[in-house]
Amino acid sequence: MELLNFMYSNTLSTTAAPALLDVLMAADKFEVASCMRYCSRLLRNMPMTPESALLYLELPSSVLMGEAVQPLTDAARQYLASRYKDMTKFQDEVMALPLAGVEAILSSDDLQIASEDAVYDFVLKWARAQYPRVEERREVLGSRLARFIRFPHMTCRKLKKVLTCNDFDHDVASKLVLEALFFKAEAPHRQRTLAAEESVTLNRRFVERAYKYRPVKVVEFERPRQQCVVYLDLKREECENLFPSGRVYSQAFHLGGQGFFLSAHCNMDQQSSFHCFGLFLGMQEKGSVSFAVDYEFAARSKPTEEFVSKYKGNYTFTGGKAVGYRNLFAIPWTSFMADDSLYFINGILHLRAELTIRH
């Protein structure tokens, strides 16, 4: 009756969400697009809750495909993605979400998560809890959830585990890991092109999220000395956000079986007279092993845009210890961040750390 009423008067007497959803379904069945648009607009203007957002995302597929309903489902996805962007805060709630809700969260670039490895671990944990039967789980992971995991931004160590993970169909896992490794092997400008091309589609595998631990590129040598060269790029806005006392950590990298990380800080100089940019090297907690390392920090600088060594040192690490330089560039924070700063090239700060095991 409501639908017939709308066809004659262009209005509805009902304004409650459940009733509007019923009218929306009827309008879809009888292909009354104007009524679908009307219901969708009214629902979109109501305050969203996790329950209502999930209701909209779990409408029958014929309704979901309707152009008139697209703004409503987009708003629902956006609502869930922003509500649960810090997944660790709402762990129990997120674990209880249905598939449509998890897909909405994982499609977001703004997830506040340590790394893509953590996204993968979460997806596995959720799928194991929701789909105890391995056949069902493989189906859901392969056909629905794998496309939301950004495998190209996972670490190689974790990608190895994907290949032997029983929850994924072997062919699916091989394809995903190969694609990720080919992406990692591309030159940076090709990676940026791939990410830009893909960001206009629904699939965002190559687009980097706002990870808590910044990705690094690592070159490892076994001979003539055990050594690794680590490249960490930080955007200008990431550096801006460090002021006045923030810090940003890199993903872990390994040398001689030990895990290390870089951390960039905004801190006070030795005399506490001004803020400055500091870079530190830390060893992850791992027993009481001590480890002697020569290290060198460098950064690209104008006008040559080549890496210039900024600090050399050596240090005997034990688990959990860090070493570095409080004022890497020997200038105040304001000069470092200035428009004519020598260290930002097209808005990116390029840092390099070289670590060598001392014998």
Q: What is the pLDDT of residues 203-254, one digit of tens each?
A: 688 888 878 888 888 889 988 889 999 999 999 999 999 999 889 999 889 8
3-class SS of residue 210: coil
Report how far apart, in Å, the C-alpha atoms of 71 and of each of 30, 38, 122 are. Answer: 20, 12, 28
8 A C-beta contact, residue 151 and residue 205: yes
- Distance of alpha carbon 275 from alpha carbon 263, whole angstroms: 16
CATH number 2.60.210.10 is the correct assignment for the domain at 217-357: yes
DSSP character for 251?
P
8 A C-beta contact, residue 352 and residue 343: no
Question: What pLDDT does residue 210 have?
Answer: 77
8 A C-beta contact, residue 254 and residue 156: no
pTM: 0.75
Closest C-alpha among 4, 16, 84 to residue 52: 16
Question: What pLDDT does residue 185 have?
Answer: 86
Strand pairing category for 275-283 and 258-268: antiparallel
- Range(s) within the chain of domains with CATH label 2.60.210.10: 217-357
Question: What pLDDT does residue 251 have?
Answer: 87
Question: What pLDDT does residue 328 have?
Answer: 95
Contacts of 80 (CB under 8 A, 6+ apart): 50, 53, 54, 57, 97, 101, 104, 105
Q: Residue type for 277, please?
A: F
Question: What pLDDT does residue 347 have?
Answer: 94
Q: Which two tokens stand for residue 304?
A: 């040559």
Question: What pLDDT does residue 180 have?
Answer: 93
Report how far apart, in Å, the C-alpha atoms of 112 and of each of 86, 262, 264 are. Answer: 5, 19, 18
- Distance of alpha carbon 134 from alpha carbon 260, whole angstroms: 36
8 A C-beta contact, residue 260 and residue 252: yes
Question: What pLDDT does residue 211 have?
Answer: 83
Helix (H) or strand (E) holding 344: strand 344-345
Q: With a cut of 50, which residues of the chain have pLDDT below it? A: none
